[in-house]
Structure 1
Amino acid sequence: MRTDRESADGSPRIWGGTTLTERRETRRAALLEAALDLIGEAGASGVTMRAVCRHANLTDRYFYESFASRDELLDVLYRQVADEFLAPMTAFTAADDPSRDRALSEILVDKVLADPRKSRLFLVEPYSSTGLGQTTFAVMPVFTRIMQDHLFGHIDDPVRRRLAAVTMASGNAGMFSAWLNGSLRATREQIIEHCVATLTAYRAMYRS
């Protein structure tokens, strides 16, 4: 027996040129985009089920079609944004290659500037939103591992290698957060120069 979701030949039923799955994916994307807009305006505290639905012009029925709760929506959104920030780092995985430090720094800084909503979610909100705490703890070690294994691959001592990676990752996160929230006033070029200088210093720290 065919279901209401299938046509007579068993293929997905089409309404308005799209399948049910496609319409669900469109609604889910609209909810995530609405949450990003709200974060850009007021931070994660402004993300509620009702506010997201109102912004996306959808009812709460469609919210719960995709997410069990507001925290699940934020978790999914944070992980998606984190993957976007991770991509340029994985493109520069040549171990201990100082010649690529400036290019990497430029790409990361420009990524921060590209979409203020995403940068606020990824770099500012974890410091102020308890709802993102567990997600941040789960995601950030991936970034630390890339630094540890590639940027500081020349450090033989595994403890020192991890110390350099953890310290640099947390320090840069704090720097970008302060830059985005306005408490650190610096130009794009100053931030890039600082990132390059920091990489140089960390590479030299355990060189001998």
Structure 2
Amino acid sequence: MHTGQDPVDTDVVVGAEANSDTAAGNDPGTGRGFGTEPVGEPGTDPDQRGAAESNRHSNGGEAPGDPTGDSGSRLWGGTTLAARRQARRTALLEAALDLIGEAGAAAVTMRAVCRRAGLTDRYFYESFTGRDDLLDTLYRQVADEFLDPMTAFAAAADPDRDRLVAAALVDKVLDDPRKSRLFLVEPYSSTGLGQTTIAVMPAFTRLLQDHLFRHITDPDQRRLAAVTMAAGNAGMFSAWLGGSLKAGRAQIVDHIVAVLTAYRSMYRD
């Protein structure tokens, strides 16, 4: 459990363990803190100062030079504390995606992510409690990116809806190999994603139940079709991305449309 204090990390972060900028939480090699904060005297890290000033304000004091007492909205080097934190969080998530794209979720460790992002571990713990928390956050974010366009097409009253949904899904799979690997391949090989996958997948089965299979009147049959198709598609895409299934984009789209049609025919009254 993270205690709020910076853990001791003997790892070399961006090859600059002994560098005073790194020790101060600044961007190595630039002489400036992440988010364009200039390097100050020891103890003048603007983010650390902002937290201290915020604490003083909560105890009845007022942060120097901050008439509102809201240190999170104060500018330093043209950006607020909240904006700098969000930028660091985004950098850590992108670094994790890069590692997943190169070597899978097993390559994602706190030290590897920090090294790739050019940040120290204290900034990692600013956003995440640990590796599993980062992977959970990233997986849910990617799942939403897959679900949103599919839902938009599935909810539309378009005679070619099945093909539009299938094409949206396939195009999303092809759009960013890093995200597709995380979402469709890594759950089969990474124990750290098992519970997250279980929590996320019902949203995809509900999409099938509520829109694409809504004409199947029996609720048990409707759910059976939705769960089976969702799991089958996940396995198909995993094999496709892994190279063991040889098929083109058009073939995959046609297959999804055919399976949707087959399930409806199977359970037609």
TM-score by length of 1: 0.95
Partner of 2:63: 3
Percentage identity across paired residues of the two chains: 74
Partner of 1:22: 83
- Residue pairs, 1:157-176, within 5 angstroms: 157-176=218-237
Gaps of 5+ in 1: none
Aligned AA for 1:7? D
- Residue pairs, 1:105-184, within 5 angstroms: 105-184=166-245
Partner of 2:102: 41
- Residue pairs, 1:53-92, within 5 angstroms: 53-92=114-153
CA distance in 1, matches of 2:156, 2:85: 42
CA distance in 2, matches of 1:96, 1:191: 23
1:96–1:153: 8 Å Cα contact kept in structure 2? no
Q: Using CA pairs below 8 Å that are at least 6 residues apart, which structure has the higher relative contact order? A: 1
1:95–1:151: 8 Å Cα contact kept in structure 2? no
Aligned AA for 1:3? A
Say if 1:58 and 1:203 are closer, same or farther in 2 by CA, change over 3 A: same
1:86 Cα deviation after fit = 0.5
Partner of 2:253: 192
When the two structures are aligned, how many residues end up with a matched partner? Answer: 207
1:206 Cα deviation after fit = 0.7
Q: CA RMSD in A?
A: 1.5
Gaps of 5+ in 2: 1-60
1:7–1:13: 8 Å Cα contact kept in structure 2? yes
Say if 1:134 and 1:198 are closer, same or farther in 2 by CA, change over 3 A: same
1:96 Cα deviation after fit = 8.8
Per-residue CA deviations over 1:121-146 (Å, capped at 9, x if unaligned) read 00000000000001000000111011
**Higher share of residues assigned helix:** 1
Per-residue CA deviations over 1:60-100 (Å, capped at 9, x if unaligned) read 01000000000000000000000000101211234896631
Aligned AA for 2:151? T
CA distance in 2, matches of 1:96, 1:19: 44
Say if 1:111 and 1:167 are closer, same or farther in 2 by CA, change over 3 A: same
1:96–1:151: 8 Å Cα contact kept in structure 2? no
CA distance in 1, matches of 2:110, 2:84: 19
CA distance in 2, matches of 1:65, 1:94: 39
Compare CA radii of gyration and give the structure with the larger one: 2
